[in-house]
Amino acid sequence: MSGGLSVRKLKKIYSTNGVDLTVVSDVDLDVAPGEFFTMLGPSGCGKTTTLRMIAGLETVSEGSVVIAGKDATRTPARLRNIGMVFQSYALFPHLSIYENVAYGLRVRRLPENEIGRKVDECLDLLALTPLAQRLPGQLSGGQQQRVSIARALVYRPPVLLLDEPLANLDAKLRVQMRDEIHRVQRSLGIMVLYVTHDQEEAMAVSDRIAIFDRGRVAQIGAPEEIYDRPGSLFVADFIGKANFLPVCNDGAGTGQCLLHCGTALHPGRVVPLAPHERDTLPGGADGLLMVRPERLAPSDDGPLRGHVERVQHLGSLSRSFVSVEGVDNEVIVDLPRNAQRLLKEGENCRLGFRSADITLFGGAV
Ligand SMILES: Nc1ncnc2c1ncn2[C@@H]1O[C@H](COP(=O)(O)OP(=O)(O)OP(=O)(O)O)[C@@H](O)[C@H]1O
Ligand SMILES: [Mg+2]
């Protein structure tokens, strides 16, 4: 892809004490110019390692990194024209904010008036102009992180890599800053490769997300695609809240499934289980039905019979925990607070869902 970033069959093997450990393997990514692309996954799944190989800060064991049509697999980091922001701000404590942002341009010996123009522009973009003469120690965490973003952007790199840039900030500031990063990305039309293990953050800002699972890409897609049509049990469980109901094949070869409580349902899309996920199936079950909490609702003839154990009022929604016949874990039901019919603690209920709103996982289903 010209102008974009392509990663092919990327692999990283670390050798420690003579033992080889593969931490990233077979990673294929294509990021388009102007795209906000996020790598999301649990701790230790290889996000940072992948990002560092793309940046040139880590050697590639196998595979290739192509930036704007050029093979950059062996190109030194400083020649890749990539901006990078880390979790730790790593600002120079003795330099003013202005000088922190100007530093890289001075090293590159740009003329003073050009430095001034570029730094001013960047400070303005990140709303840092009033703080330009302060030292980093006189800034809040969020402001310091804005400085580190300004410092990465001042070269106007075509690609900006951010590794958990908001991890050190409190919850409210994280939301503010992620919107800020999104705004800056959109206004510059820059390509961003973002790493986080916070799925809400990823869903909020990304054009597309790659879900990582133990060094491999489990699924790539737009946020809503991944949420609505998870390609594996791992992805379904990792993104958003999910209810899993054991189902079994009716054995008649009709493709019809039975919920464990005996109700028949016609499966929509069946996703085969990955081999490592088969172990997570409860004994004897053929598969699992996944339905999101907001896709369940009280229904007089719904297939699930249950008892409402607890109800939580969470701002705009009411979250109920329902024990359902044939299901080990409590089923979560999210209803809008102003729904015509809400669930009440202690009542018996029936729950229904549309067949378009479920995903079935199972080898034999
Ligand atoms: N220098 C190294 N030598 C050996 N193993 C390493 C090295 N660096 C990372 N690893 C291992 O590689 C795996 C992936 O690490 P990585 O830092 O890429 O994970 P991550 O997805 O960024 O996790 P986190 O969300 O915690 O930052 C981990 O199991 C880690 O222990
Ligand atoms: Mg990391």
Q: Whose CA is nearest to atom 31 of ligand 1?
A: 44
Give the mean model confidence (pLDDT) for residues 204-228: 96
Q: Which of 53, 57, 40 is nearest to 8 (CA)?
A: 53
Looking at the DSSP bridge assignments, the partners of residue 278 are none
One domain for residues 61 and 127: yes
Question: Cα–chain-centroid distance for residue 235?
Answer: 10
Domain count for the chain, please give it. 2
One domain for residues 221 and 354: no
Q: Whose CA is nearest to atom 17 of ligand 1?
A: 48
24 Cα nearest atom in ligand 1:
14
Owner of token pair 């499934």: 257
One domain for residues 32 and 112: yes
What tokens does 137 get?
A: 């120690």
Give the mean model confidence (pLDDT) for residues 315-341: 93
Which amino acid, 126? L
pLDDT at 268 over 60: no
The mean pLDDT of the chain is 89
- d(CA 144, CA 23) in angstroms, rounded, equals 32
Within 6 Å (CB) of ligand 1, which residues are found? Answer: 14, 16, 21, 23, 41, 43-49, 197
- d(CA 209, CA 195) in angstroms, rounded, equals 10
Residue 169: the pLDDT is 79
42 Cα nearest atom in ligand 1:
25
The bound ligand whose nearest atom lies closest to the alpha carbon of 59 is: 1
Residue 211 Cα to ligand 1 midpoint, Å, equals 16
Which amino acid, 105? L
Residue 182 lies in a domain: yes
Give the CA distances from residue 239 to residues 175, 221, 229, 236, 275, in Å, rounded to whole numbers and listed in that order: 18, 12, 11, 6, 20
Residue 175 Cα to ligand 2 midpoint, Å, equals 20
Choose between 268 and 140: higher pLDDT.
Answer: 140
Local structure of 163: helix, strand or coil: strand
Strand ranges for 232-325 from DSSP E: 243-249, 257-259, 264-265, 270-271, 287-291, 297-298, 304-314, 317-324
- d(CA 349, CA 343) in angstroms, rounded, equals 8
Owner of token pair 């909020």: 204
Residue 147 lies in a domain: yes
Choose between 173 and 55: higher pLDDT.
Answer: 55
Residue 287: the pLDDT is 81
Residue-range definition of the domain harbouring residue 159 = 5-228
One domain for residues 51 and 198: yes
Residue 56 Cα to ligand 2 midpoint, Å, equals 16
Give the mean model confidence (pLDDT) for residues 232-256: 80
Q: Which of 193, 123, 200 is nearest to 165 (CA)?
A: 193
Which amino acid, 168? N
Strand arrangement of the beta sheet that strand 264-265 belongs to: 264-265, 257-259, 243-249, 287-291, 358-362, 270-271
One domain for residues 253 and 161: no
The bound ligand whose nearest atom lies closest to the alpha carbon of 197 is: 1
Most informative mutation of 27, 40, 45, 197 for ligand 1 (most atoms within 8 A of CB) = 45
Owner of token pair 């952007």: 153
Residue 354 lies in a domain: yes
195 Cα nearest atom in ligand 1:
22
Q: Whose CA is nearest to atom 28 of ligand 1?
A: 44
Residue 260 lies in a domain: yes
Q: Which of 261, 334, 267 is nearest to 303 (CA)?
A: 261
What tokens does 115 get?
A: 């430095």
46 Cα nearest atom in ligand 1:
18
> 141-153 vs 112-125: helix axis angle to the nearest 10?
130
What's the pLDDT tens digit per position in 5-62?
999 999 999 998 889 999 999 999 999 999 999 999 999 999 999 999 999 999 999 9
Query: Taking the complete model, does pTM exceed 0.85, yes or no?
Result: yes
- d(CA 60, CA 338) in angstroms, rounded, equals 54
What's the pLDDT tens digit per position in 98-111?
999 999 899 889 99
One domain for residues 137 and 214: yes
